[in-house]
Amino acid sequence: MIDFKLFQHPQRYIGNEWNVIKKSHNKRIPICLCYPDSYEIGMSNLGLRIIYSLLNDSDDIVCERAFFPGEDFNNFLLNNNQKLFSLETKTPLANFEVLGFNFNYELNFVNFLYILSLAKIPLFSRARKDLIVLGGGIANPESLADFVDVFYIGEFEAGTASFIEVLRKYKDKKSRLEALCEIEGFYVPAFYSAELKNDKYEFNKIYSYAKLPVKRTYVSNLDKSHYPLKWLTPHTAIVHDRVPIEIARGCPNRCTFCQARAMYYPYREKKAETVCRIIREIYKNSGYENFSLLSLSSSDYSQIEELIDILFAEFKQKRIGLALPSLRADDILGKLYSKLHLLRKTSLTVAIESANDSLRNHIGKKIDIKKLFETARLIRTFNLKHIKLYFMIGFKEETEEDLRAIGLFLEKLNQETHLSLNVSINVFVPKPFSLREDATMAEKDTLLDKINIVKNGLPKRRSINISISPVEKSILEAIISRADRKFSSVILDVSKASCNNRNAAGNWLIWQEAMSKNHIDCAAYLKAETINFPWSFINTGLPECNLKKHE
């Protein structure tokens, strides 16, 4: 038995949360969900909880969890020649039949390989005998094609039943993968070839029963889809320490830079009464004191007023906190004005993206600046102290004037409202499946120049806090998210470097070195004004995706 008090935050490794599911492995198919980031971040992920609960609902499946360990625990495993194990039954990861990984953040790809090596599992798909590595939450899976046996493209709730069926019916890796590749949503990279010929990717099936294109799947009825009611409740605070209640999935807006719109397409809602039933049930099972209503744009939820009224009436006595993120400024002026004070809310977040009206229209962001000013004045009456604003720079059509407008806008807003402003300025990354996937990413020097223009125009006031995303990190995200199969050798090298340097994944120089060693020209991934990409074999189901394929 390991003495967990040797480590910082021992609760990361114990696995005794309220509602944790512990089953014996006897005559069951063991699956471990691995999150390539810390416990605190992973436990804030809704997808992990939905899949954990959904898989464990089958009596013949036992689903457990593992996370990227802290430095001290990592060193302990290495020094004692121990393998990374699951939280629930402390079973080494190598003893599971399936390991599921979430790949929603590119810089975590390195942690994924690191977890495999800590568990002493071969990194390459072809080198593993029985164990299946399943990947999900990813837009473009190609840079991981050599390491992952099968990806699920889309929402796993839609494929869970058929996945379990295959695991029951077939017992060896080869027949399992062959059966999976015939089912919609499952992508087995080894059954396809992807080659770059004359600047165009050619995709071909190697195994004739595989599907091409690979169709992204989704839950058709969100109202009836599975929700983890026996909420896993850690005995300690985690990053987002509230229960997210998904009220809608997808987004009806068309912001051109947005990838989430494609990843969660189409827009679907849960009924207000379903949302209330879920909250009531989770509260009874967990005793959680904070809930947040989750969606990409809660302003678009059709029953928003009704929902807030019912929830507030029911939970006021119990002092339950309700948060409503992602509101549009015009809703606060309009229908939600009288409801806002009911919510426990200390700030308003507005993703304004650009201070210039025409550029904002150009990128598809519908925000009325006049209304924002009115709203800002209004929210002072609710005891709100600050506004969080998001800007995005690095668009092709952006002028110096647009960049300077950010500073002028902030100064005016701050002067007129006396609210403190938390401003976050991000760099535009042309993500796969966004409406701007065919845009060229601005080069590093151009971006640095642009940032300087913005910085010089910023008002120097204590009540305005500015954070600017590091350019190199954004470029890395762009490269990894847009990469093809050749890039796997780079990820492998950076993962090896992370054995000695835990911060390797965020270090531009280490990536640069790995790219030049493997003869990868990253500029090729970033210059992409074409209609054919490494990820073009996937059909997201978006209307414009179908149009493009016919061109």
Partner 1 sequence: MNEQRFLIKAVIKKSDEMIYFSQIDLGLVLERALRRAELPLYFTQGFRPRVKLSFSRALKLGVEGEEEVTFYFSKNITPQELQEKLKKQLPHGLTILKIIE
Binding site for partner 1 (CB under 8 A): 4-5, 10-11, 14, 16, 18, 233, 235-237, 283-289, 318-319, 321, 344
Give Cα separations from 434 to 144, 214, 265, 443, 544 (angstroms).
20, 18, 11, 19, 10
Q: Which is nearer to partner 1, 240 or 362 (CB)?
A: 240
Closer of 19 and 539 to partner 1 (Cβ)? 19
Nearest approach, Cβ of residue 172 and partner 1 (Å): 38
Select 147 or 231, whichever has its Cβ closest to partner 1.
231
What is the DSSP secondary-structure string of 488-551? HHHHHHHHHHTTT-TTGGG-HHHHHHHHHHTT--THHHH---SS--TTTTEE---HHHHHHHH-
- Comparison of 70 and 250: residue with beta carbon closer to partner 1: 70
Number of DSSP helices (H) and strands (E) in the chain, helices first: 20, 19
Closer CB to partner 1, residue 292 or residue 295? 292
For the bound state, the minimum distance from the C-beta of residue 281 to partner 1, rounded and expressed in Å, comes to 12
Quote the least distance from Cβ 288 to partner 1, whole Å: 7
CA distances to 284, 358, 385 from 418, rounded to whole Å, are 42, 27, 9
Closest CA to 460 of 526, 529, 494, 414: 414
CA–CA gap between residue 114 and residue 20 (Å, rounded): 26
**Minimum distance of partner 1 from residue 14's CB (angstroms):** 5
* CB 277, min distance to partner 1, A: 17
For the CB of residue 385, give the shortest distance to partner 1 in the complex, in Å: 11
Please, what is the minimum distance in Å from the beta carbon of residue 401 to partner 1?
A: 42
Give the CA count within 13 Å in the CB-facing half-sphere of 520: 24
Whose Cβ is closer to partner 1: residue 90's or residue 335's? Answer: 90
27 exposure class (CB count in 10 Å sphere: 0-12, 13-18, 19+): exposed
Q: Which of 437, 428, 392, 427 is nearest to 140 (CA)?
A: 437
**In the bound complex, what is the minimum distance in angstroms from residue 18's beta carbon to partner 1?**
6
Record the tokens describing residue 79, joined without a space.
Answer: 């020094």
Minimum distance, C-beta of residue 318 to partner 1, in the bound complex (Å): 7
Is 27 or 319 the residue whose CB approaches partner 1 more closely? 319
Strand partners of residue 424: 390, 467
542/209 Cα distance (integer angstroms):
25
**Nearer to partner 1 (CB atom), residue 1 or residue 547:** 1
Give yes or no for a contact between 324 and 308, defined as CB atoms under 8 angstroms apart. Answer: yes
Give the per-residue SS3 of 208-240: CCCCCCEECECCCCHHHCCCCCCCCECCCCCCC
Least distance between partner 1 and beta carbon 30 (Å): 22
User: What does the longest C-alpha to C-alpha distance in the chain come to?
Assistant: 68
Shortest reach from residue 307's CB to partner 1, in Å: 22
Residue 181 token pair: 């590749």
Contacts of 549 (CB under 8 A, 6+ apart): 213, 539
E strands of 229-377, at which residues?
243-246, 248-249, 268-269, 290-294, 321-323, 347-353
The residue (of 284 and 461) whose beta carbon lies closer to partner 1 is 284
Q: Torsion over CA of 539, 540, 542 and 545, rounded to 10 degrees?
A: -40
Shortest reach from residue 490's CB to partner 1, in Å: 39
For residues 20 and 339, what is the distance between their CA atoms, to the nearest angstrom?
Answer: 36
- Look at the chain and count its residues: 551
Based on CB atoms, which residue is closest to partner 1, 285 or 426? 285
The identity of residue 242, as a single letter, is R
For the CB of residue 383, give the shortest distance to partner 1 in the complex, in Å. 9
Q: Which is nearer to partner 1, 9 or 271 (CB)?
A: 9
Q: Say if CB 135 and CB 150 are below 8 A apart.
A: yes
For partner 1, the closer of residues 169 and 385 by Cβ is: 385
Alpha-carbon span 184 to 121, nearest angstrom: 28
Q: Kindly report the CA angle at 365 between 380 and 339, in degrees rounded to 5?
A: 35
Of 9 and 362, the one with the shorter C-beta distance to partner 1 is 9
